[in-house]
A and B are shown apart, each in its own frame.
Chain A
Amino acid sequence: MNFNKDGRLHNAVYSSFSKNLIKAFVLIIVFFIFIMPVLRLVIMSFIGDDGMTSDFYRDVLSSDRTWTVLSNTAIIVILSTLISSVLGIVFAWLIAYTDIRAKNIIQLFIFLPFIIPSYIISLAWVDFFGGQGTLNTILEWFGMASGGWNLYSFSGIIVVMGISHFPLVYLFTVNVFRRIPREMEHAARASGAGRWHSFKNILIPMALPGIASGTFIAFLGSLDNFGTPAFLGIPGNITVLSTYIYQQVIGFGTSSFNYAAVLSVVLGVIAVIGLLIQWFLLRKSKRIQTTQLDMEPRYHLGRKKYIIEFLISLFFLVTSIFPLLSMASSSFLNAYGLSFTPENLSLDNFEYVMTSSSTYDAIMNSLKFAGVTAGIGLFIGTFIAYIRVRKGGNTIRTVETAITIPYALPGTVLALAMIFTWINPIPRVDWNPGIYGSAMIMYIAYFTRFLLLQVRGSITAFQQVDIEIEEAAQVNGSKAMVKWRKILIPLILPGVLSGTVLVFLTALTELTVSALLYSSTSETIGVSILSFQQSGYSLYANAFSTLIVLTIIVVYLILFTVQFFIKRKVKSDDS
C-alpha cells in the first residue's frame, strides 16, 4: 500500500487557526448581509439632523393617527388570525384523523391561497362578492339583490386575510396531529375515559403547543401582510401598520423616513415578540412529540363523511374557485360592470397587459429578479443546508438563525432596512454606491428575504438521505464529484427543486418589498398590478392577475411532472 503520503496530504487536519479564520469570515459576511440592516433600521429611528434623538418616537407615539393605525392593526390581525386558526385546525384535524376521501386533492386546494398572493385573492373576492360582483349579479337574476358585500372594509380585510393565512396554520398543525401516537388516546380509552374525556384530557393537551405555534405563524403572517390592506384597505381608508409605513416612505415628506423607521421598529418589535412566543411553543411541542408521522385515519365518520365532504367542496368553491373564475371571466369584459354578452367580451385586456411596455418591463423585471434569486439561492441555500445537516455546529446554527431574521420580519420592515443599509453601506463613510434606486437592491433584498425558503427545502431533502448512504459511496472509493453526481443529487433533487420553485414563485409575485424598493427601472409584477388597481384600471389588474395564477399553476404542474419522473425511478424505499 502506498497511499500513506497521499493520505496525509489529502486529509491533513486543518489547523484550528485557519479553521477559525474561515468561520470568522463567514460570520462577518452573514452578519453584514442579514443582521446589519435590521440594526441600521433601529439606529435610523433614533438619528435626526442633529444626532441622537428620541423626538421621532415622541412625535409618532403622540400622534392620534398612530393610535388609530395601531388599533386597526390589532383588530384586523387578531380577528383574521382567529379565522385562520379555526379553519386551519379544523382542516388539519379532518385530514389527519378522519377517513374522508380525496385528501390529496383537498390538500391541493388548501395550498391554493398559500401559493396565490393575497393581493390576487383580494381582487378575486372583490370581483365575486363585491357590490358589482358576479354573486350579486346572479342573485339579481333571481330577484334577490343584496347590494353585495363591500370588501373595502374591516370585514373584507379580515376575512380575506383569514382565508389567505389558514394554509399556514394547517401546514403546521396537520403533522402535530399525526405525530401524536394513537396509542395515547387508546390508552386513555382503555383506562376507562370516554371519547370526549380522552379528547379533552389527552389529545388537546398534547396538541396544544403545536396548534398554538401554528396560530402564531398566522399572527405573523397577518402582521406582515401588505397586499390585502393595500388593495382593500387603502381604497376603504383603513390603514394598518404595513400600509402606513408604505405611505410614509412613498410620501417623501420631511422626516418621513425617520417616522417610517419608528413605525417599522414598532411593527418589528411586535413581530419579534410573536416570533419568540412561537419558538417557545414549538420547542415545547417538539418535546412532547418525537414519534413518526401516522398517516392512517383514526376516526371513521360513517355516513357523516358525505356531508363533510360536501361542505368541504362547497367551501373551496365559494372561497377559491368561484372568485378566481369570476376574476378570470371579468378579464374578458370590455368595461367594468358590463354584462356577459358576446359583444361585451374580447381579449383586449390581456392584449394590453401582454403588449404595453410598462407591463412587459414589469414581467421581465420580475422574471429576472425571481430567476436570479432562485438560481443563486439554489446553490448557496443547498450548500448551507448540507453543512447544517451533515456537519452541524454553532457556526452554521448562527448562520441559519441569521438567515431566518429577514424572512421572519414583516416585509415592510425589511424593505426599509434595505434602504437604510444600501443607501450608505458603511456607516460614517459618505459613500452611496447607487444600489438603492437601481435594480440591484431588488436582487439583494429578494436574496436576503427568500434564501431561507431554499435552505429549509434543501435541509428537508438532505435529512431524508441517511448519512450511511453517503458513507457507502465514500467507502466504495468514489470521489466527491462522483458521490454528488451519482448518489446525492439524484436523491435530493425533488426536495431541493420544491424549495427553488417556492423561491421563484414567491419572488415572482412578491409585492411588499418591491412596493417600497422599486424604481422606474425595477417595477415588478406586484407593483404593476397594484398601480392598475389603485388608479381604477381594475380589469387590467384582473387580466394580469389571471395570467399570474395560470403561470403559478403551470409552474407547479411542471414541478410535479419532474418530481414524478425522478421519484418513479426511486420508488419508496423503507430501508
Chain B
Amino acid sequence: MTAEIRQLNKFFGNFQALKDINLETSEGEFIAILGPSGCGKTTLLRLLAGFSAPSGGEIYLDGEAVASKTMNVPPEKRNLNMVFQSFALWPHMNIEDHIRFALKNHRYMEKLNSKEMNERIDEILRIVGLEQFKHRLPGELSGGQKQRVSLARAIAPAPRLLLMDEPLSNLDAELRIEMRREIQKIHKITKASIVYVTHDQGEALAMADRIIVMNDGKIEQIGTPEEIYESPETSFVATFVGKANLFKGAWKDEVFKPEGTQLAWRQNNVTGSFIKDGIFPLRPEQIRLTKAEEEKLQGRIMTKQFQGKEYHYSLDVNGRTVIVHMPINESYEIGETVSIEPDIIWGWDKKAPEN
C-alpha cells in the first residue's frame, strides 16, 4: 500500500505534536520513523492507523483520502494492522484464537471455511515459529514469544500496511537482534508496506528501506540508511543517528578552519546547512588520534573504555567533549595530551557504517 501525507498537523490542546509533515511512501516499502521520545513519531503512527484524527492536512492510502480535518476513516476500514509496544495480547485467549480473531474479523480478509482457516493459522504459526504453542495462553509465554504472537496476529489477515510501534523495546538486547531478522523475514514473505516507529537508530539502519528522522514534531531528514548515516543534513541527525561530534569553525569552499586555529581540514561531503552554520560533523570513528604535535588541534584524554575491537575515548578539547573510537593497536592513557584530525578518505568514509 502507498501512503501519502500532506501538510499534516496535530495539536493536543496548545501543544503541537506534529508540524507540517509531508511524506510519500511506495508499494512494499519498509519505512522507519526514528526519533527521541516525544518527537511525535508515535502520534504520526496513530494518525496513520486512524486512532486519532489530524488537526490539519490530509492522509491518503492508495490515493484515497482517509483522514483530514473534517473526516477520519476508522482503523478497521483501512486494510492495515498494527504491532503494539505492549504486545496487546488478549489474556483470556490462546494463541490460536488470537489469529482466528484477526482472520474472522479483519474487514479485508476473504472469508475462509473452517478447514482453510485452520490451514492459514498453522501456516502463520509456522512463519513465526510458534506451531507447538498453539494452545498456550499469553501468560504462559516468554517476552519474545509474546512478540511473535503479536506479529502473527498482525500479518494473519494479510494487511497491505503493517504499523509497528516500538515493537522491540520491551525485549532484552539479545532478543532484539534476533527479532530484527524475524521482522525482515516477515517483510519479505508478506510484501506488505511497513511503517516502523523506533528510537533505536540501530533498528532503523538495519531494517528500513528509508528512514524518516523526526525531532520536535518535524521531519529532519528522509533518506536511505546509508544517506542518513553518511550525509546527515542537520546537526540533530548527525548527533542522533551518527553520534557525531560537532566542530565549530568556518568553511571556505571545501576547507574547514576549526575555531581559534589556522588549520585546514578538507572534506567535500558536508551538506549546505553545516557549511552555512560553520559546523563540521565528525563521527567518533572519523577522528584519528596521534601523539601530540604543535601544529594540530590538541585535546586531553578524560576517559578510556575498552570495547573489544576498539577503545572509546572522551577528550577535553578546549573545554568541549569529543568522543573518539580508535583501533586497539594504538593506545593512549588517561591524562595524556594528544592531537586530533579528521580521518576521512577524500569524498567518502573509509569505514562501513556499523550495525
Contacts and interface: CB of A to CB of B under 8 A. Distances in A.
A487 B89 CA distance: 10
Contacts of B51: 471, 474
Given A3-B73, A572-B139, A491 B88 contact: no
Interface string A478-491: 11001000110011
B183 interface: no
B215 to A, nearest CB: 25
B71 A6 contact: no
Given A466-B86, A471-B88, A573-B137, A477 B76 contact: yes
A473 B78 CA distance: 14
Interface in A1-19: 1, 3-4, 6-8, 10-13
A475 interface: yes
Contacts of A473: 90, 101, 105
A476 B76 CA distance: 6
Interface string B56-97: 000001101110001111111111111011111111110000
Contact of A468 (B75, B84, B140): B84
A13 B52 CA distance: 11
Contacts of A13: 53, 70-72
Contact of A571 (B49, B91, B105, B146): B91
A468 B102 CA distance: 15
A4 B65 contact: yes
Interface string B95-124: 000000110011111000000000000000
B138 interface: yes
A569 interface: yes
B85 A469 contact: no
A292 interface: no
Interface residues of B, number: 47
B153 interface: yes
A472 B75 contact: no
Contacts of B88: 466, 468-469, 471-472, 575
Contact of A6 (B77, B80, B137): B77
B40 interface: no
B49 to A, nearest CB: 6
B73 A491 contact: no
A570 interface: yes
Contacts of B84: 468, 471-472
A50 interface: no
Given A468-B84, A475-B80, A477-B105, A4 B73 contact: yes
Given A468-B84, A476-B153, A573 B106 contact: no
Interface string B127-163: 0000000000111100100100000010001000000
Contacts of B140: 571
A7 B146 contact: no
A476 B73 contact: no
Contacts of A482: 105
A324 B143 CA distance: 50
B92 A475 contact: no
A471 B49 CA distance: 10
Which of A1, A491, A571 has the most chain B CB atoms inside 10 A of its CB?
A1
B76 A478 contact: yes
Contacts of A475: 49, 75-76, 80-82
B62 A1 contact: yes
B107 A477 contact: yes
A12 B71 CA distance: 6
B105 A472 contact: no
B65 to A, nearest CB: 7
A300 B65 CA distance: 65
A534 B258 CA distance: 97
A490 B105 CA distance: 18
Contact of B92 (A7, A479, A491): A491
A10 B87 CA distance: 28
B139 A1 contact: no
Nearest to B79: A1
Contacts of B71: 7-8, 11-13
30 contacts: A1-B61, A1-B79, A3-B107, A4-B64, A4-B66, A8-B71, A10-B73, A10-B74, A11-B53, A11-B74, A13-B70, A466-B86, A468-B86, A469-B90, A471-B49, A471-B88, A472-B88, A474-B75, A476-B101, A477-B76, A477-B102, A477-B157, A479-B76, A486-B93, A486-B101, A570-B137, A573-B89, A573-B139, A575-B138, A575-B146
Interface of B: 49, 51, 53, 61-62, 64-66, 70-82, 84-93, 101-102, 105-109, 137-140, 143, 146, 153, 157, 170
Closest 5 CB pairs of A and B: A7-B73, A468-B88, A571-B139, A573-B91, A573-B139
